[in-house]
Amino acid sequence: MGSMSIWHWLIVLVVIMLVFGTKKLRNIGSDLGGAVKGFKEGMKEGAADTKSVTDDAAQQAAKTIDVQAREKT
């Protein structure tokens, strides 16, 4: 009795479809899919930005070390 069987889930699904309608559910699904796609693209752009900032910082550090080594010799 504690867990819901497949029949309970089917009844819940039918009630949701009757309340909201299939068109509204389809729109919600497409909006949710678009949001997930936008989130993934944002994560990829953020990772690329972080990598370029890290590479720039490493190059700047290498230049600083090189200049300091030349000054001491």
DSSP states of 23-51 as a string?
Answer: HHHHHHHHHHHHHHHHHHHHHHHHHHHHH
Q: Which amino acid is at 35?
A: A
Q: Which two tokens stand for residue 7?
A: 């029949």
pLDDT tens readout for residues 5-59: 899 999 998 998 888 888 888 888 889 899 999 999 888 887 776 666 666 667 6
This prediction's pTM: 0.44
The CA-based dihedral angle spanning residues 42, 44, 45, 48, taken in that order and rounded to the nearest 10 degrees: 160
* Number of helices followed by number of strands (H, E) in the chain: 2, 0
Q: Which amino acid is at 58?
A: A
Q: Domain locations in the chain? A: 6-72
